[in-house]
């Protein structure tokens, strides 16, 4: 039973990833921005996401060291200026 729940959650996250990627592609196409502008927007956004990811890893590591069983730190991406 536990294995089936894990498989279901895995399918859900995979579906979520694919849907997210498709929404990004749709948004880029609908924006009609030049490729250079999209590049810089993604570059800035990636920098923010990367920092959020490293913050998550640091927090997860601290929680693991404190023997906390659940790790739940939502991603917070700063607004691009």
8 A C-beta contact, residue 80 and residue 45 = yes
Q: Can you tell me the distance from the alpha carbon of 75 to that of 53, in angstroms, rounded to the nearest whole number? A: 7
The SS3 of residue 77 is: coil
The reported pTM is 0.58
Q: In this predicted structure, what is the pLDDT of residue 41?
A: 95
- 1 DSSP assignment: -
Q: What is the pLDDT of residues 18-27, one digit of tens each?
A: 999 999 999 9
Q: In this predicted structure, what is the pLDDT of residue 2?
A: 64
């Amino acid at each position: 039973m536990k294995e089936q729940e894990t498989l279901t959650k895995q399918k859900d996250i995979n579906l979520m990833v694919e849907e997210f990627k498709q929404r990004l592609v749709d948004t880029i196409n609908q924006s009609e921005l030049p490729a250079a502008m999209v590049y810089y927007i993604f570059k800035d956004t990636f920098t923010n996401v990367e920092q959020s990811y490293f913050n998550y890893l640091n927090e997860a590591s601290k929680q693991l060291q404190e023997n906390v069983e659940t790790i739940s730190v939502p991603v917070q991406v700063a607004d691009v200026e």
